[in-house]
Amino acid sequence: MKPRPAPRPMAPGGPAGPEPSADFWRGFVASGLLAAVQERHGKPRLDRRALRRALQGGCALATGTQAAHAWRWRDAPRVAACIGLGLLAVTTLEHVLRENAAKEISDEQEEA
């Protein structure tokens, strides 16, 4: 008789996954910092564009982390739901804030 394999250790949060709000804030801050500095020639600027990218980064990291955790637990429906929710959140933010981003780009060109 073969010995049973040892059960996998529980990941933080168990099958439900780690706390999504913490992942959101990590992604929000990291993406916001990058968006504020990149393409600005070393002059950080917090504007709607940086906010849009920060929100998208937070959503992407939170849902991506949840999807990866669900994949680890072999929960395919939850993986698909997390990916779908992340895609929906990022594209909705892009659509809602796109008009403002276009306006900001035209304002930047006028300043230059």
Degrees to nearest 5, angle at CA 103 with 102 and 106:
90
Contact 80, 63 (CB under 8 A): no
Per the CB < 8 A criterion, the answer to whether 104 and 48 are in contact is yes
- Give me the average pLDDT of each 10-residue run along the chain (112 residues): 58 64 94 88 85 95 95 94 97 85 68 67
Structure confidence at residue 20 (pLDDT): 85
Per-residue pLDDT, 48: 85
Neighbours of 41 (CB within 10 A): 6
Report residue 92 as tokens.
Answer: 């909705």
Please give the model's pTM, rounded to 2 decimal places: 0.73
Q: What is the pLDDT of residue 9?
A: 53
Q: What is the pLDDT at residue 4?
A: 63
Looking at residue 97, its pLDDT comes to 87
Q: Which residues contact 40 (CB under 8 A, 6 or more apart)?
A: none
